[in-house]
Structure 1
Amino acid sequence: MEQLNKRILTLDLIKGMSVIGMIIIHTLLIFANVKSQSDTAIGSFIVFLGRGTSIFLICMGITFMTSSHQSLTSAIKRGGLLLLAAFFMNFMKFIVPVILGFAPAHFIEKYGWHGPIEQQYLYLALLGDILQLAGMSLLFVGFIRKYVKNKYGILAIGLLAALVSREVSGIHINFPVVNYILDLLFNNNFPAYVYFPVFPWMSFIIIGMFFGKWFQQLNYNGPQLFKNMLYVGLIFIALGAPLVFMYGNYHYNGFYHMGPGGVIYFAGWTLIFLWAIFRLTSKAKENTCMKVLKYCSKNLTSMYMIQWILISWGKGIFGYRQHGIAFVSILILFYILLTFLVQNTLDIVRKKEPLIVFRRIAVDETVLK
C-alpha cells in the first residue's frame, strides 16, 4: 500500500509529467513566433504550463527528505555535481553551436548586448537556469535537513527565505566572479541572465521539505499528507492573494523574481494541485503510461539536459522563433521522441535498463484492460 511506502507514486508521476511538459514548453519558446505563443489557444496554454516550476521544486523538497541518502556530505556532493552538469549543459547548448558554426546570428540579439560575440556567448554559458538553482540550493538545504529537526522550524526557514528575497536582491561588489555568485543567489543584474535565483526559489524546496518531514512523522501515510497539503494550500492562498493583488510591485513583480507574497500564493496553488493529482492517481493501476512517466522521473536530470541541448541545437536547423503553431506541434512530437531515443541509447551504453514498453503491450494485462 502506498501509505506504507517512502516513495509516493503521485510525486513520481508528476516529475515524469514535468519531463514531457518541459520538452513541450521549451520547443514552443524556442521555435514558435511571438504571435503563436501569445495569440493562439495552444500557445497560450503551453506558456501557462511554464509557470509550474514550483510544482517540481516542492516535489524535490519532499523526496529530498525521504531519500535514502540523508548525509550532509551526499547533499553537498549532489549540489556540486548539479552545478557542474548545469555549466556543461550551457556549454553544449550555446558554445558548441558557435564552434561548429550553426548558431543562428539573430538569437543573441534578443538579449540586447553589444561587444564581441565571444563575450556574449560567454554570458550565455553562465546563464542561470533550474539546474543552477537546484545545485546551489542543495548546498543550503543539506544543512537544514541535518540540523533542523522540527518541521515548523523548516517551514519558518522557507518562509524567511521568501521574506528576505526582495531585500537582498541586487547585492553587488566590484568583483565580477563574486557578482555572478551573488546573482545566482539573489538577482539577475549580472549580464548572464539568472532565471531562477536561489532567493526566493529555494523557498519552494524548503516548503517541500516541511511536507517531507511531516510525511515521516505520519509514518508515511500518503493520503493524510496530501489532505494536509490541501489545508495548508488554502491557508497560503488566503495569505498570499491579498499581497499579490494589492501590493504586486513588491510581492510579485514578475514570475521569475517574485517577492514573498508571490511565493506563498504560488505555493498554495501548487499544494492544491498536488492534492488533486493524488486524488486522481491514488487508485490508478499500473499501466504503460505510468511506466513511461516513472521512467522519466527516474531520469529527470539527464532528460532535462538532453532535451535542452537538442532543442538548442535545433535553432541552427529550424531557426529561432520563426514558425507557426502547426509546425511547432510537429517539432514537439519530434523532440519528445528524440529525447527518449537519446536517453534510451545512453541507458544501453551504460548498461542500465532502457525504456522498452511496447514490446510487452500484447501481454500486459493492464494495457489490455
Structure 2
Amino acid sequence: MEQQNKRILTLDLIKGISVLGMIIIHTLLVYANVKSQYETAIGSFIVFLGRGTSIFLICMGITFMTSSHQSLKSALKRGVLLVFAGLFMNFMKFMVPVIFNFAPDNFIQKYGWNAPIEQQYVYLVQLGDILQLAGMSLLFVGFIREYVKNKYIMLAIGLFVALISREVSGINLDYPVINYVLDLLFNTDYPAYVYFPVFPWMAFIIIGMFFGKWFQELNYNIQQIFRNMLYVGLLFIAIGAPLVFLYGDYNYNGFYHMGPGGVIYFAGWTLLFLWLINTITTNSKENGFMRVLKYCSKNLTSMYMIQWILISWGKGIFGYRQHEIGYVSVLIVLYIILTFSVQTLLDIIRKKKTLFDFRPLSSNKTVLK
C-alpha cells in the first residue's frame, strides 16, 4: 500500500516528468537558434518549462525527509558524491569534445577564449549546475534533518536562506579553491558561472523538508499533505507576488539568482502545481506511461548526467544554436531514445556485475549475490 511504504506517487511522476522535460529543454537550448527559442510558440513554451527547477527541489526535500536512509553520514556522503558527479559530468560534457577536437567553433567563441587554454578548461569544468547545488545543499540539510525536529523551525530556516541570499551574494576571499566553494554557495562569479547557487536555491529544498516532516506527523496521509500544500501555496503567492512585481529588482533579479520574494512566489506556484497534479492522478490506474515515469524517477541522477553528456557531444555533429524548431523537434526525439538506451545499457551492465559478484561467507562458502 502506498501510504505504508511512505512513497508519494505524485512525486515519482513529477520527477519522472522532469527527466523527460530536461531532455526537451536542454536539446532546445543547445541546438535551436535564438528565433526558434523565443519567437515560436513551441520554443517559448519549452523555455517556460525550464523555469520548473523549484518543483524538482521541493520534491527532493520531501523525499529527503521520508527516505529510508536517514543518517547524517549518508547525507554528507551523498552530498560529496553529487558535487564530484557534477564535476565529472562537466568534464565529459566540455573537455571530451575539446580534447578530441569536435567542439563547434561558435560554441568555443561564445566564451571569448582569450585566456590560456588551461584556464579555459578549468572554467568549463567548474560551471555550477543542479548536481552541484544538490550536493552542496545536502551538506547543510543533512544537519537540519538530524538536529531540527520542529517543522516550523525548518520552514523558518528555509525562509531565512531566501531572505539573506541577496546580502551574501558576492562574498570573495581571493583564494581560488575557497572561492570556488563560495561561488557554489553565494554566486561570487569567480571564476565559474554558477546557475544555481545554494543561496537562495537551497530554500526550496528546505521548504520541501518542511512538508516532508508534516507528512510524517500526519501519519503519511497523502491527501491531507497536498491540501496543506494548496493552502500554504496560496499564502506564499499572496506574499510573494507584490514583492516580485513591485520590488522586483531586489526580490527577483532574474530567474537564476532571485531574491527572497522570488523564492516565496515560485514556491507558492510550485505547491499549487503539486496539489493539482496529485488531484489529477489520485484515482488514476497505473499504466505504461506511469511506469516509464517511475523508472525515470528511480534513475533521475544518472539519466540527468547521460542526457547532458550526449547533448553536449552532439554539438560536434549537429552544430550549436543554429536550427529551426522542426529540426530541433526531431533531435528531441533522438535524445530521448539515446538517453533511455544508455540507461538501459547501464542497467544491464549493473545487473551482470551483481549476478557474478561472489562474496565469501564466514563458513568459507560463497554466495551468489
> So what's the TM-score if we normalise by structure 2?
0.94
Q: Distance in 2 between matches of 1:213 and 1:265?
A: 22
Other-structure match for 2:348: 348
What letter is aligned with 2:117?
I
Residue-by-residue CA offset, 1:257-289 (whole Å, 9 max, x unaligned):
000000000000000000000001111101100
What letter is aligned with 2:72?
L
Tell me the CA shift for residue 192 of structure 1. Answer: 1.2
Other-structure match for 1:47: 47
Aligned length: 353
Distance 1:178 1:138, change over 3 A: same
Q: Distance in 2 between matches of 1:338 and 1:61?
A: 29
Tell me the CA shift for residue 3 of structure 1. Answer: 3.8
Is 1:19 matched with 2:40? no
Alignment of 1:152-191 (within 5 A): 152-191=152-191
- Given that 1:188 and 1:197 are in contact with CA atoms closer than 8 Å, whether structure 2 keeps it comes out as no
Runs of 4+ in 1 over 6 A off after TM superposition: none
Tell me the CA shift for residue 116 of structure 1. Answer: 2.2
Other-structure match for 2:199: 199
Residue-by-residue CA offset, 1:123-161 (whole Å, 9 max, x unaligned):
011100000000000000000000000000000000000
Other-structure match for 1:260: 260
Other-structure match for 2:365: none
- Where does structure 2 lack aligned partners over 5 or more consecutive residues? 354-369
Query: Which shifted more, 92-101 or 183-192?
Result: 183-192
Give % identity: 79
Where 1:223 maps in the other structure, the secondary structure is: helix
Q: Distance in 2 between matches of 1:191 and 1:177?
A: 10
Other-structure match for 1:229: 229
Residue-by-residue CA offset, 1:269-318 (whole Å, 9 max, x unaligned):
00000000000111110110011000000000000000000000000000
What letter is aligned with 2:196?
F
Tell me the CA shift for residue 119 of structure 1. Answer: 1.7
Q: Distance in 2 between matches of 1:54 and 1:239?
A: 17
- Provide the alpha-carbon RMSD of the alignment: 1.2
What letter is aligned with 1:133?
L
Is 1:96 matched with 2:96? yes
Alignment of 1:240-251 (within 5 A): 240-251=240-251
What letter is aligned with 2:160?
L
Other-structure match for 1:330: 330
Tell me the CA shift for residue 104 of structure 1. Answer: 1.1
Q: Distance in 1 between matches of 2:31 and 2:286?
A: 35
- Given that 2:182 and 2:188 are in contact with CA atoms closer than 8 Å, whether structure 1 keeps it comes out as no
Q: Distance in 2 between matches of 1:46 and 1:166?
A: 28
Q: Distance in 2 between matches of 1:108 and 1:251?
A: 34
Q: Distance in 1 between matches of 2:352 and 2:184?
A: 34
Q: Distance in 1 between matches of 2:272 and 2:109?
A: 40
Tell me the CA shift for residue 352 of structure 1. Answer: 7.4
What letter is aligned with 1:321?
R
- Given that 1:188 and 1:195 are in contact with CA atoms closer than 8 Å, whether structure 2 keeps it comes out as no
- Given that 2:229 and 2:272 are in contact with CA atoms closer than 8 Å, whether structure 1 keeps it comes out as yes
Where 2:56 maps in the other structure, the secondary structure is: helix
Tell me the CA shift for residue 101 of structure 1. Answer: 1.1
Is 1:60 matched with 2:36? no
Other-structure match for 2:75: 75
Q: Distance in 2 between matches of 1:91 and 1:189?
A: 20
- Where does structure 1 lack aligned partners over 5 or more consecutive residues? 354-369
Tell me the CA shift for residue 4 of structure 1. Answer: 4.0
Query: Which shifted more, 149-158 or 173-182?
Result: 173-182
